[in-house]
Amino acid sequence: MLNALIIGAGTMGGTHAEAYAKMENVKLAGIVDINLAKAQGLADRLNTKAFQTYEEAVELDEIDVVSICVPTPFHKQYVMKVADDKKHVICEKPLAISLSDAREMINYCNDKGVKLFVGHVVRFFPEYVKAKKLVDEGKVGKPAVVRTTRGGGFPIASNDWYSDFASSGGLVLDMIIHDFDYLRWCFGEVKRVYAKSTRTRVFEKFEYALVTLRFESGVIAHVEGTWAHQGFSTKFEIAGKEGIIEYDSSKVTPVVASRKETASSEGVAVPESPMKDNPYFAELEHFIHCIQTDAEPVVTAEDAYKAMEISLAALESIETGKVVVLEDTQEKVGVQ
Amino acid sequence: MKVGIISFAHGHAYSYANALTELDGVEILGIADENEERGRKAAAEFNTEYYADYEDLLNQPIEAVVITSENSKHYEHVVAAAKKGKHILCEKPLAHTAEAAQAIIDICKEHNVILQTAFPVRFSTPVVEAKRIIDSGDLGNIVAIKATNRGTNPGGWFVDREKSGGGAVIDHTVHVVDIIRWYTGAEVKEVYAEIGNLISDYDIDDCGQLTMEFDNNMFATLDCSWSRNDAYPTWGDVMLEIVGTRGTLSVDAFGQKTNLYNRDGAHWDFWGDDMDRGLVEDFISSVREGKNPSITGEDGLKALSVAIAAYESSKKQVPVQVN
Ligand SMILES: NC(=O)c1ccc[n+]([C@@H]2O[C@H](COP(=O)([O-])OP(=O)(O)OC[C@H]3O[C@@H](n4cnc5c(N)ncnc54)[C@H](O)[C@@H]3O)[C@@H](O)[C@H]2O)c1
């Protein structure tokens, strides 16, 4: 039995907490949030304790692993603290805002002898896992042109922190890093990055970015990220020499409830794609398994670093209008 | 009105010829083709005369000519037709090089004949409806566009650089560039392209991903790859995702379809309006009324310049200015 603690009781904190609460070999030991009422609300719902500080929480209980689900700029301070206390760390993505911070965090956890996992959960979404398997089995032949899409409306969170670019890095660092990690997992290392975003053009709560990646293998990938649409969806398409894989979450709706609304005459449709375990559960269960068995995870902290490298190269390209060749981006300063 | 067709090298010749036969008061007087077998077959199909020499066709009392030869032959055919005072509908890309395209424009001006570039997508009913929505201002300012114009590798002369000027990039860049220019009135300033020969065994580009910067602070990307295979339910697509400050718009020019599944596999049966017919109808009415063509030679050249800049960008691996 492992005791897990959550720091941050927002969207992701809730997701991690629900997953631990369901796991038989994990005890959800508590929830920490500077906003104690938020921690309390989640703790009450899942039958655990709430704390305002991490220090109070570790004092009280024997903790083995800590999920860090606070806004990105606070990842580092907690990763260091938790590593100091010799507890394993599961940190939400992106690992950090700058590559130097990310490197420092990875090294620190290594030095302290604790494991560091990063929540690149797309590697646990069954449709993405299945697509990689099809590619690996040669079902589409040699991959050639790949397209991905991710996004919907502008994210809503505590203190509206996503709209502060210095905190979130915008959608290129915060969201399509998922696709960068996935694409790297499937197609290997990226050679060049070229990107455009509305961020430097439209000064509203709104972002739309289009990124082109060229891989060492020759694969060309196009990544669309949006906080300018209505309704979240993800898409991918892999065209190879001998086949094509297509997926569009907005068209995969095995359960659609359509109800008459009381207030207006318009109905509302709520599509769902239910699974016994959600991908976050699968991801965390895998990380727990790796802690218990000392196995190598499907996604390592080094992978998280590499995904950040691609995001930061895209941000540099957006800023400068130039192509960014990845060898040149070693240890960049990150979001300014 | 009597019309001639020069060459059935490009498959679009069939749909333009079909459209011509459907128009009232229009007659296909003859078909010239250096490939006798192909020319005779087409002439028989459309119930008209075959000419081995296009000059002979141009000497007939035709008012206009449709040129659907290989890209590299457009120049020769346009020059001959313009000199005989025939109005011209020329298949895209206008030529295989920017110089040839400019020369085509100049010769038509000199001889005072209409030159229309064949960009049928402007006549797709969903594409036209999308323009109405953009023009209404409902989307706010257009800030970005993501487009695809993918297809199936046509093989034949299309993969012979001497005749085509290039592969997927020259073939499939021009339609979407034309539509974006038409929608927004903006011009492409700079292009970056990743181009590859990753799908077919022919030695020609079949994958292309372009990023364009426009003179109104808007950007767009275009996937122009010949990445659809034989098993895919249709030949390709023209799709645009248009992002404005107040809303977004998705356009799928070939989205009106019924799905067919049988022994031959899965097939998307398109039932939307015929854009080629719209194009031909528009050209014929310009000739009849002696008005300026709705799509000019300059439009054809602007779109071609983007494709040519894309090749240069891919070679140099840097963004390239478009002039
Ligand atoms: N893997 C995914 O799919 C995914 C999805 C969304 C967000 N994320 C990532 O998860 C992290 C959290 O995002 P979110 O959307 O859940 O944010 P959120 O704003 O919903 O939640 C953050 C919570 O942390 C608390 N908090 C803020 N500063 C704190 C501090 N110093 N100490 C303790 N608590 C603090 C806030 O009160 C809030 O309750 C981010 O890094 C984000 O990028 C990952």
CATH code of the domain in which A127 resides = 3.30.360.10
Q: What is the pTM of this model?
A: 0.96
Tell me the residue type at A42. L
B103: its two tokens: 């020369």
Q: Looking at the structure, tell me whether residues A134 and A262 fall in a common domain.
A: yes
pLDDT tens-digit profile of B72-107? 999 999 999 999 999 999 999 999 999 999 999 999
Q: Identify the bridge partners of residue A236 per DSSP, sorted by sequence position.
A: A148, A247
Residue A336 maps to a domain: no
Surface-to-core class of residue B50, CB atoms within 10 Å of its CB (0-12 exposed, 13-18 middle, 19+ buried): middle
Query: Can you say whether the dihedral through the CA atoms of B194, B195, B196, B199 is positive or negative?
Result: positive
Q: Which of A57, A90, A119 is the last residue of a domain?
A: A119
Helix (H) / strand (E) element for B134: namely helix B125-135
Cβ of A243 under 8 Å from any chain B Cβ? yes
Of the candidates A144, A196, A242, the beta carbon closest to that of B219 is on A196
Best residue in A183, A196, A242 for a mutation probing chain B (most B CBs within 10 Å): A196
A75: its two tokens: 């990842």
Q: Looking at the structure, tell me whether residues A169 and A88 fall in a common domain.
A: no
Interchain pair A228, B248: CB under 8 A: yes
Whose CA is closest to A69, among A34, A27, A21?
A: A34
Compute, in degrees rounded to 10, the torsion defined by CA atoms A299, A305, A309, A311.
Answer: 60
Residue A279 maps to a domain: no
Q: What is the DSSP letter of B84?
A: T
Helix (H) / strand (E) element for A245: namely strand A244-248
Mutate to test the pocket of ligand 1, among A5, A6, A12, A128 (most ligand atoms within 8 A of CB): A12
Of the candidates B217, B221, B317, the beta carbon closest to that of A201 is on B217
Q: Looking at the structure, tell me whether residues A126 and A88 fall in a common domain.
A: no
Show which residues on chain B lie within 8 Å of chain A, measured between beta carbons: 141, 143-144, 146, 148, 190, 192, 194, 196, 198-199, 206-207, 209, 211, 213, 217, 219, 221, 223, 225, 227-229, 231-232, 241, 243, 245, 248, 317-319
The arithmetic mean of pLDDT across residues B236-256, rounded, is 97
Q: Give the model's confidence band at A329: pLDDT under 50 very low, under 70 low, under 90 confident, else very high.
A: very low
A9: helix, strand or coil: coil
Q: Above 70 in pLDDT, residue B233?
A: yes
How many Å lie between the alpha carbon of A210 and the closest alpha carbon of chain B? 7
pLDDT given at position A260: 77
Q: How many Cβ pairs closer than 8 A exist between chain A and B?
A: 95
Cβ of A333 under 8 Å from any chain B Cβ? no
Interchain pair B229, A202: CB under 8 A: no
The CATH number of residue A40's host domain is 3.40.50.720
- The average confidence (pLDDT) of chain B is 97
Query: Can you say whether the dihedral through the CA atoms of B93, B98, B100, B104 is positive or negative?
Result: positive
Q: What is the DSSP letter of B179?
A: H
Residue A229 maps to a domain: yes
Q: Which of A119, A147, A176 is the last residue of a domain?
A: A119
In sequence order, what are the residues at sequence separation of 6 or more whose Cβ sits closer than 8 angstroms to the Cβ of residue A282? Answer: A124
Cβ A35 under 6 angstroms from ligand 1: yes
Q: Which residues of chain A are within 8 Å of residue B144 when distances are taken between CB atoms?
A: 196, 198, 208, 210
Whose CA is closest to A115, among A201, A254, A240, A2?
A: A2
pLDDT given at position A334: 54
Stretch 117-156 of chain A: residues touching chain B, C-beta under 8 Å: 142, 144-145, 147
Mutate to test the pocket of ligand 1, among A5, A55, A89, A92 (most ligand atoms within 8 A of CB): A92
Q: Looking at the structure, tell me whether residues A78 and A145 fall in a common domain.
A: no
- The average confidence (pLDDT) of chain A is 94
- Strand pairing report for A220-226 and A208-215: antiparallel
Cβ A158 under 6 angstroms from ligand 1: yes
pLDDT given at position B164: 94
Q: Above 60 in pLDDT, residue B218?
A: yes
Stretch 301-330 of chain A: residues touching chain B, C-beta under 8 Å: 321-323
Q: Looking at the structure, tell me whether residues A318 and A177 fall in a common domain.
A: yes
Domain count, chain A: 2
Q: Looking at the structure, tell me whether residues A104 and A144 fall in a common domain.
A: no
The arithmetic mean of pLDDT across residues A157-162, rounded, is 94
Of the candidates A220, A224, A243, the beta carbon closest to that of B207 is on A220
Q: Give the model's confidence band at B266: pLDDT under 50 very low, under 70 low, under 90 confident, else very high.
A: very high
Tell me the residue type at B166. G
Please state the ipTM of this predicted complex.
0.95
Q: Looking at the structure, tell me whether residues A237 and A321 fall in a common domain.
A: yes
The arithmetic mean of pLDDT across residues B25-32, rounded, is 97
pLDDT given at position A271: 72
Q: Looking at the structure, tell me whether residues A192 and A313 fall in a common domain.
A: yes
d(CA B191, CA A323) in angstroms, rounded, equals: 12
Q: How far is the CA of A7 from the centre of ligand 1 (A)?
A: 9
Residue A190 maps to a domain: yes
pLDDT given at position B323: 77
A144 phi, psi to nearest 5 deg: -125, -70
pLDDT tens-digit profile of A246-256? 999 999 999 99
CB contact burial A284-297 (16+ within 10 A = b; e otherwise): bbbbbebbeeeeeb
Q: Which domain holds residue A132?
A: 122-274+301-329
Q: Which residues of chain B are within 8 Å of residue A242 when distances are taken between CB atoms?
A: 229
Q: Above 70 in pLDDT, residue B221?
A: yes
d(CA B172, CA B161) in angstroms, rounded, equals: 15
Q: Looking at the structure, tell me whether residues A63 and A182 fall in a common domain.
A: no
Domains parsed from chain B with CATH numbers: 2-113 (3.40.50.720), 121-274+304-321 (3.30.360.10)
Interchain pair B143, A241: CB under 8 A: no
Q: What is the DSSP letter of B317?
A: T
Q: Looking at the structure, tell me whether residues A67 and A204 fall in a common domain.
A: no
Q: How far is the CA of A41 from the centre of ligand 1 (A)?
A: 16
Q: Identify the bridge partners of residue A197 per DSSP, sorted by sequence position.
A: A209
Residue A145 maps to a domain: yes
pLDDT given at position A264: 53
Q: Which of A94, A119, A144 is the last residue of a domain?
A: A119
How many Å lie between the alpha carbon of A221 and the closest alpha carbon of chain B? 8
Residue A88 maps to a domain: yes
pLDDT tens-digit profile of A108-132? 999 999 999 999 999 999 999 999 9
Q: What is the DSSP letter of A297?
A: P
Cβ of A214 under 8 Å from any chain B Cβ? yes
pLDDT given at position A263: 57
Distance of CA A329 to the CA centre of its chain: 22
Residue A334 maps to a domain: no
CA separation (Å) from B140 to A199, A202, A224, B49, B303? 16, 12, 21, 53, 25
The arithmetic mean of pLDDT across residues B149-171, rounded, is 96
Place of tokens 């390592």: A300
pLDDT given at position A258: 87
CA separation (Å) from B282 to A285, B105, B132, B295? 63, 19, 18, 10
Q: Looking at the structure, tell me whether residues A46 and A25 fall in a common domain.
A: yes
Q: What percent of chain B has pLDDT over 70?
A: 100
Q: Looking at the structure, tell me whether residues A150 and A255 fall in a common domain.
A: yes
Residue A89 maps to a domain: yes
d(CA A246, CA A21) in angstroms, rounded, equals: 35
The arithmetic mean of pLDDT across residues A316-330, rounded, is 86
pLDDT tens-digit profile of A15-53? 999 999 999 999 999 999 999 999 999 999 999 999 999
